[in-house]
Structure 1
Amino acid sequence: MPEPLTVPFALTAQVERLIPSARLGRLGRLRRGLEKGLRVDANGHIAQTPHPHALGSKLTHPHITTDYSESLLEYITPVYSQPGEALCFLSDLHTFTYHHLENEWIWPGSMPSRLSGNDSVPIADYGSSNVGTMKHVYRKGLDMRYGRIMQAIAGVHYNVSLPDDMWHGLRELEKATNIPFNDYRSTRYFGMIRHFRRHSWLLLYLFGASPAIDKSFLPDGHKVPEKLQSLSDDTYFAPYATTLRMSDLGYQNKVQSQLKICFNSLSNYVNTLRHAISSPWPDYEKWALMLMASGVS
């Protein structure tokens, strides 16, 4: 029999000390936001139509926009304290969208639907304004670096922040009032990030739900990874997978995987991030020289 999981004493004591504040309602305002979708046609192929005009401007709409692709819907809910309220708003966004889709559907999975090569993923067009042009050019750069197919992978973004009352309570319990509040809160958030990264495998194991991909996701001539098996004429799957989206087949960047971003503190994070974005990469430098030589700025 495996040993039962035990909660560290320090954590148990900390939780017990927070119970009185929780009973007073000081800790019940966890803030949540959801971002999410991919439009497909009636045959399950990625949609080639522009972002529906009736959904509003994808450049300025606060709740309905696009991600990388013109077909990749992005829903953004307001921040809510109650999970049900965020889900209801997301449901309303789906309902509103379906009223304005013509013979199209919202793809439910994170791995994309049927594709027809790299160019079948239309890059989002945000108009001719400076901001819109910048967003479009940035996406063209992503195409050059990683290809559009990887950018068609979707996922739910779950944004969460903790109420300041909780941080004030913890700061008092830990007798850390000599530390400026913003510094204390940043330190504790980075502690949460490190814990999340340490235990993220468990979250993927428990909540991952993308064990299959359409065969069109792999380019023609691409060697099928040994981990994948054929499930049907058009689908591969990994028998023991939970989330191919987070695997080396999913939304990954081999270049960025070589960067070492430090989450020990805000200053370390900023410094290592600054170093990462200013570090040259030979392949990207070659493309820049090729574009300059061809007269493209």
Structure 2
Amino acid sequence: MAESRHHIFHQFAASDWGGFLKGVEKEGLRVDRNGFIAHTPHPRALGSALTHPRITTDYSEALLELITPVCNSTGSLLSSLRDVHRFVQKHLGDEVFWAASMPCELDGDASIPIAEYGTSNIGRLKHVYRQGLAVRYGRMMQSIAGAHYNLSLPDGFWSLWQQALGNQQSLKDFKSDQYFWLIRNFRRRSWLLMLLFGASPALDASFVAGVKHGLARFNDNTWYGPDATSLRMGDLGYHNNAQSSLNICFNELSTYTRTLDRAIHTPWPAYEAIGTRRGDEFIQINTSVLQIENEYYSAVRPKRTTEREEKPIQALEARGVEYIEVRCLDLDPFSAVGVTESQIDFLDLFLLDCLLSDSPRIDDSECERLDDNYKDVVANGRNVELALCRGGRKTPVGEAADSLLSELEPLAERLDSWIGGDAYRRALQAQRDKLTSPGLVPSARVTAAMSQAGLGHREWVLDMSRQHQQTLREEPYAATSLAEFERMSAESLDEQARMEAADTLPFAEFLDEYLRS
């Protein structure tokens, strides 16, 4: 019998382990003092949303996205994330940074401003892409926020791992194959993350005004799922019918990029009927199933840092997978920065185990079962009678979760022995506590906190957001960090101005070239 990957890994020495490289992209809405989505422009003190390396916007002008650099420890990541939060909070005036994934009070699509990035061709392309999302899916879905967790392992580890496995590929191809190995197991187990970290069981009534849904009434302005873990990742959140036909394959890089590329070049009749222009205004990049790769919604993505004007597919094909992006994480409304230390450490443990465990390719029938497990936990994960399909049989969700967490114990012990301390065992225990005390899962904590306060989603999240803002504004800010953020803001504005001055190609021609590339 071939030696297991876990056994091979456990034979490594502490000096062979280069540690995790990690980063977070954290979204959140700017809202006014009454808890309504902000209609003000992106604050100039925060620099250019187009070119700032740490502070940008996602779909909406009101939807901030804060980005950490690549960090080599959980402590440095959280410190970096807190620094950028402090800087943002100090420049929001009387606005508030919304602490939850499901949005504040809205008044239909028209109340959600689409992000602006200036007059450069790249800036206009980003805006037109978002216009395309609006005409395809509406703006409401795009007001939802989340945290994306990025993880990679250093090349030193990959070289030793390749040698230990006796693999003869190029390092680029080996790493890509190994990251897809990890992704396949992530897809098998991602339901567990929704159980442990789903934190959006309720939403403001304005989000579903005029929409049919199966939620229960919490109070006059709040609906909720009594057993839901994450409405954000359910049918009311990120989804669309056109993408359900894509069958994006996560088995290997070549099939992944090929199926994505096909979607970008496959016309969709409903989008063709809309067209790409409304008068002189561009309202879509194209009329295909996807305008660009980023339009594809998935819980995980293989990623490669792109050069300016380079497409993600081109970067992946040219240089291989660089890191993986976990996209299914709700914001933790109890945390001032949306994520926690034990969560980050557990994700490291969870993702490494996905790499080390057996990971056969996923066929169509397994793909359907995995999707069903994920959807069931999202909608009904706190129901103790829920059963998931695992290993060809139905298993109670609690039993399935306990089994997966038990399998992580030896790995947690090994990592702790290498780096010293007990961070990974503590992170694992924090998740096990959620199974023995179901009231500790974030989704249950949210509904309990709202009930205890006698507040609906809108009022409770606004109160939590104000508390986080006060905490961060009162914390001391290192003068060097403040100066660094002020420098980045000023330089980003200068860079945007240079880009706009340098563009001479009409946007229509630029877009044609972009689509042909």
Same fold, TM-score > 0.5, yes or no? yes
State the match for 1:231 in structure 2: 218
With over 3 angstroms needed to count, the CA separation of the structure-2 counterparts of 1:61 and 1:296, relative to structure 1, is closer
Aligned residues: 281
Contact 1:38 1:106 in 2 (8 A): yes
Q: How far apart are 1:106 and its partner, in Å? A: 0.7
Structure (1/2) with the larger helix percentage: 2
1:17-166 matches, within 5 Å, as: 17-24=8-15, 26-36=16-26, 37-166=28-157
Match status 1:222 vs 2:218: no
Q: Over the residues paired in the alignment, what is the CA RMSD in angstroms?
A: 1.7
Q: 2:264 aligns with which of 272, 277, 288?
A: 277
State the match for 2:228 in structure 1: 241
**In structure 1, C-alpha distance between the alignment counterparts of 2:117 and 2:248, rounded to whole Å:** 32
Q: How far apart are 1:14 and its partner, in Å? A: 2.5
Q: 2:186 aligns with which of 196, 212, 215?
A: 196
State the match for 2:289 in structure 1: none
Contact 2:18 2:156 in 1 (8 A): no
**In structure 2, C-alpha distance between the alignment counterparts of 1:295 and 1:110, rounded to whole Å:** 35
**TM-score normalised by the chain length of structure 2:** 0.52
With over 3 angstroms needed to count, the CA separation of the structure-2 counterparts of 1:10 and 1:197, relative to structure 1, is farther
Contact 1:18 1:169 in 2 (8 A): no
**In structure 2, C-alpha distance between the alignment counterparts of 1:232 and 1:29, rounded to whole Å:** 47
Q: How far apart are 1:17 and its partner, in Å? A: 2.6
**In structure 2, C-alpha distance between the alignment counterparts of 1:10 and 1:229, rounded to whole Å:** 52
Deviation digits for residues 134-174 of structure 1 (CA, Å, limit 9, x no counterpart): 11111111110011111111100101111222222221121
**TM-score normalised by the chain length of structure 1:** 0.90
Matched residues, percent identical? 52
Match status 1:211 vs 2:201: yes
Contact 2:18 2:153 in 1 (8 A): no
Indicate the SS of the match to 1:216: helix
Deviation digits for residues 111-146 of structure 1 (CA, Å, limit 9, x no counterpart): 111101111111111111111111111111111001
With over 3 angstroms needed to count, the CA separation of the structure-2 counterparts of 1:19 and 1:63, relative to structure 1, is same
Q: How far apart are 1:20 and its partner, in Å? A: 4.5
**In structure 1, what residue type is equivalent to 2:182?**
M
Structure 2 gaps, min length 5? 283-517
Structure 1 gaps, min length 5? 1-8
Q: How far apart are 1:16 and its partner, in Å? A: 3.3
Q: How far apart are 1:22 and its partner, in Å? A: 4.3
With over 3 angstroms needed to count, the CA separation of the structure-2 counterparts of 1:101 and 1:295, relative to structure 1, is closer
Indicate the SS of the match to 1:102: coil
State the match for 2:389 in structure 1: none
Q: 1:259 aligns with which of 228, 246, 262?
A: 246
**In structure 2, what residue type is equivalent to 1:16?**
H
